[in-house]
């Protein structure tokens, strides 16, 4: 306990000293390589061949392995995917456009104002998803490691999962139950929820875990409470995150670059909350399902 107390005091001292340095013009940029592993064994409900699964996995590779750029100052940050051209013949344009609705666009965080904004485009319409920053109860661990030239400290938390997080969706009853301790309770909750509305029964065959265990590595050498995606709240820049099957690793840091990118709040799109945006997605997906051969006679069905 004494060693942990000394470690935390050292971190806070480094933070307070650093806060007095370059307070006005401090800015940095961090590059992250992200990778998500999906279990394709249950994909398609057993109705797809191994070859079809392989083709889908190849198409999804551009979604599952990405490069992101985090620009940050003392209180604000922007996080967006690195722009790059699709390879010839990859067929990624339409596929990427459709799946980006599930994975999100450029993101802005402001620690002082406790706000997170994310640009989103869904079926040709622009949205600006606005919410409070997620409250993460970090536990500072007594473990360190080196990432590049930075000494990093370990922290862990339990993080709720967004119900429309495509990367964590799986077939109901699948094998990935590592983060779900109480299956019986969860099944009861799901049954109750499915009776509320017939408009979301397309999601009856898939589920998203209620939470994930997150391990982060942060460095007090860069004294900002920033990190990739919606991760924040530690006494130093987060350089690595491991959450479920996703890994985010910082591969490059540029401090006080000569050509600084302006960190601005996004303003494009209809302002909605995350819950409101999720409902818009559900309604549209259900509408599409009914139009193109789902259960019941939607607008595309014939009348007798």
pLDDT at 47: 67
pLDDT at 271: 96
User: Per the structure block, which two tokens stand in for 74?
Assistant: 């003392």
Q: What are phi and psi of 93, to 5 degrees?
A: -60, -60
Longest Cα–Cα distance of the chain, Å, equals 79
Residues forming beta bridges with residue 140, ordered by sequence position = 155
- 292 or 116, which is more confident? 116
Percent of the chain with pLDDT over 70: 62
Report the distance separating Cα 71 and Cα 282, nearest Å: 32
Q: DSSP secondary structure string, 77-123?
A: EEEEEPP-PPPTT--HHHHHHHHHHHH---EEEETTTTEEEEEEEET
User: Per the structure block, which two tokens stand in for 27?
Assistant: 């800015």
Per residue in 235-244, pLDDT (tens digit) is 999 999 999 8
> Please, what is the Cα angle at 67 between 66 and 69, to 5 degrees?
140
pLDDT at 53: 67
Helix and strand tally (H, E) in the chain? 5, 14
Per residue in 200-234, pLDDT (tens digit) is 444 555 566 788 999 999 999 999 999 999 999 99
pLDDT at 118: 94
pLDDT at 285: 80
Q: What is the mean pLDDT of residues 125-139?
A: 94
- 60 or 2, which is more confident? 60
Q: What is the mean pLDDT of residues 160-168?
A: 68
What secondary structure letter does DSSP report for 1?
-
- Please give the model's pTM, rounded to 2 decimal places: 0.72
pLDDT at 111: 95
Residues forming beta bridges with residue 121, ordered by sequence position = 126
Rounded CA Rg of the chain? 21
pLDDT exceeds 90 at position 116: yes
pLDDT at 177: 43
- 193 or 63, which is more confident? 63
pLDDT at 29: 96
Per residue in 15-55, pLDDT (tens digit) is 554 544 444 568 999 999 999 887 656 555 556 777 776 77
Q: Where are the domains of the chain?
A: 2-291
- 45 or 137, which is more confident? 137
Report the distance separating Cα 258 and Cα 147, nearest Å: 24
Spatial contact of 240 and 230, defined as CB atoms under 8 Å apart: no
pLDDT at 139: 97
pLDDT exceeds 50 at position 187: no
* Closest C-alpha to 139, from 216, 198, 30, 64: 216
- 55 or 11, which is more confident? 55
Report the distance separating Cα 261 and Cα 249, nearest Å: 22
- 199 or 140, which is more confident? 140
Q: How far is CA 292 from CA 214, 254, 297, in A?
A: 39, 49, 10
For 184, counting Cβ atoms within 10 Å of its Cβ (0-12 exposed, 13-18 middle, 19+ buried), the class is exposed
Per residue in 195-209, pLDDT (tens digit) is 444 444 445 555 667
What secondary structure letter does DSSP report for 42?
T
Report the distance separating Cα 295 and Cα 113, nearest Å: 46
What secondary structure letter does DSSP report for 205?
T
pLDDT at 231: 96
pLDDT at 150: 97
């Amino acid at each position: 306990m004494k060693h942990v107390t000394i470690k935390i005091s050292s971190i806070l001292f480094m933070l307070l000293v650093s806060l007095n340095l370059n307070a006005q013009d401090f800015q940095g940029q961090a590059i992250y390589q992200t990778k998500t592993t999906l279990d394709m064994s249950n994909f398609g409900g057993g109705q797809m061949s191994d070859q079809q699964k392989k083709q889908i996995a190849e198409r999804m590779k551009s979604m599952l392995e990405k490069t992101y750029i985090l620009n940050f100052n003392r209180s604000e940050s922007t996080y967006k995917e690195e722009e790059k051209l699709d390879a010839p013949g990859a067929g990624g344009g339409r596929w990427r456009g459709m799946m980006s609705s599930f994975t999100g666009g450029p993101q802005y965080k402001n620690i002082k104002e406790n706000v997170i904004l994310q640009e989103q485009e869904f079926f040709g319409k622009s949205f600006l998803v606005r919410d409070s920053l997620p409250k993460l109860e970090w536990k500072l661990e007594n473990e360190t490691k080196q990432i590049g030239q930075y000494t990093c400290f370990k922290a862990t938390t339990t993080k709720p999962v967004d119900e429309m997080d495509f990367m964590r969706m799986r077939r109901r009853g699948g094998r990935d139950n590592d983060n779900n301790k109480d299956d019986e309770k969860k099944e009861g909750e799901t049954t109750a929820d499915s009776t509320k509305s017939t408009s979301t029964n397309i999601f009856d065959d898939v589920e998203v875990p209620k939470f994930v265990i997150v391990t982060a590595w942060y460095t007090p050498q860069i004294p900002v409470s920033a990190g990739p995606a919606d991760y924040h709240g530690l006494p130093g820049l987060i350089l690595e995150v491991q959450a479920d099957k996703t890994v985010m690793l910082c591969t490059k840091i540029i401090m006080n670059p000569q050509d600084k990118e302006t960190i601005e709040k996004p303003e494009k799109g209809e302002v909605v909350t995350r819950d409101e945006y999720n409902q818009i997605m559900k309604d549209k997906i259900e509408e599409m399902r009914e139009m193109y051969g789902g259960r019941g006679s939607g607008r595309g069905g014939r009348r007798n």
